[in-house]
A and B are shown apart, each in its own frame.
Chain A
Amino acid sequence: MIISVKKIAKALKSDSPDLLTRPTGRRFFEQAIKKLENASTDETVICDFSGIEVIDPSFVDEFIVKLIKTSQDDKKPFYIRLKNISSVVEENIRSVFTSYCEFAKTKFSVITEDITKDNTHIIGITSDTEREIIEIMRINGTMATETISKHLGLDSIDTAHILEQMHKDRLVKKDSDRYLVV
């Protein structure tokens, strides 16, 4: 499923390239949730920001953070991939995620379609191992735990533990004993 943020903006009668403030973020989140009613379980939802120059940290908190938290609900899990984000949008998202992680003492990140400023396809606080997994999964599409473990030179139990957590964080998909790229 593709959620075009610009289309939501048009539906809300906004033609601005900037999505600003908490109230605006809340209105966009409500619209996105309505669209997600039609999504299947475990579907990848592409959040397309083409035509958008800036989303401020308040909008990030009300829209992207809430979408990610909703995706992590086990009742109807889904996966988010951000597309066409400008460099300032990327920095604002990273800033919010960093603050959130500092506050909540947890990891928080999201997959991106385009390469980010730090040459990965993920924004947020993650370990080097997790970033490496994201990148090899992008190349291979689907991999078994054992294969990933061998590639990384890690113990298979440790690898399974990392992958399980990444799956809970909706950074990789899972199909029985194999993991799939988001």
Chain B
Amino acid sequence: MCNIKGILVIPDKLNDIYAFDSIISLEKEIYAKSIHTLDISSVSFIEPYSMTNLLLIARRYLKNTGNRLKLTQIPLPIHQYLTRMNFFKYPIFDEPEPLDSKKMLTRSALSKRILEITEIPNLERESVRVISQAVSLFRRRGAYILKHWFCPDTVNYFVTVISEVCQNVFEHSMDSGFLALQTYTYNRENVVRLVIADSGIGIEESFSAEQKKTYGTGSALIKNALTAPISGKREFGYGLCRVNSIIKEMKGNLFIRSDRSSVAFVYNKGYSDNAYSFLKDDLEPFSGTQISISLYG
């Protein structure tokens, strides 16, 4: 994957939350081979989970080395998309040559299928303000974003989800995070994907050693946080439980990756009340907690 010194060629694995694990596996190469540039010429599509996690990789690189990673050989549609999503607004990647204004994606009403990348600060007051702004923007665009799933309460359900998951960033992660949302068509399927990701201490570390011991594996702990009123900070918690019950009601999918573990609840292909659940441990470490919520229709 490393063809020219200092340049790492990124494979076309930014189109799926599970495929992104192969990018995570490449992160250690960045440091081992003194990589300063990512060649994304092979990338044909970036979905929001991969995009926000790419930002986390670059932010960690910036913290560790004091330098910004650079993206090169960016295909035009990818460049347009990243610019539209405010990917380069944050001084994390070395900003590439800006797009010609004629080539930029419009910000008309018809392009309001997204919530641009928004940083969730780790300071309480700032974070509350940002969450309120993000929800307010979502309210303005929600009917369009969720038009394939529309029922009167769908937007209100999503407001609850955005608020609860974003709060976990400043309440538990000890780090700031990113939010992004997009609706798109992939393989003839309409997808809406909400991503909230941070590179903080992760779910397992937010629980006491005793609590961790009770649940055994990281994935079992995450699964319990989604299905039972447990909390690492308070006597009991219910935010993730409520998020899970909403996604179940909406027959969506919920994926959480934290450090070396992941849990996926797949409600859109399950039977009646049962979901397919996939628990994984011993993954390549990736600090923090990354949550992807998807609806398909």
Contact = CB atoms under 8 A, between A and B. Distances in A.
Interface of A: 14, 16-18, 20-24, 53-54, 56-58, 61, 86-88, 92, 95-96, 99-100, 102-104
16 contacts: A18-B132, A18-B135, A20-B163, A21-B127, A21-B132, A22-B171, A23-B124, A53-B156, A56-B159, A57-B242, A58-B163, A58-B239, A95-B242, A95-B245, A102-B229, A103-B235
Contacts of A14: 132
A104 B156 CA distance: 28
Given A21-B167, A53-B156, A103-B229, A95 B131 contact: no
B238 interface: yes
Contact of A18 (B159, B229, B236, B245): B159
Contacts of A92: 160, 242
Contacts, number: 78
B62 interface: no
Contact of A95 (B124, B156, B235, B238): B238
B12 interface: no
A23 B166 CA distance: 13
B165 to A, nearest CB: 10
- Report the interface size class on chain B: 20 to 34
B296 interface: no
B135 A58 contact: no
A23 B128 contact: yes
A88 B153 CA distance: 7
A78 B136 CA distance: 35
Interface in B121-143: 124-125, 127-128, 131-132, 135-136, 139
A99 B226 CA distance: 12
Contact of A57 (B127, B128, B171, B238): B238
Contacts of A24: 128
B238 A99 contact: yes
Given A57-B164, A58-B164, A103 B236 contact: yes
Contact of B229 (A16, A20, A58, A99): A99
B283 to A, nearest CB: 29
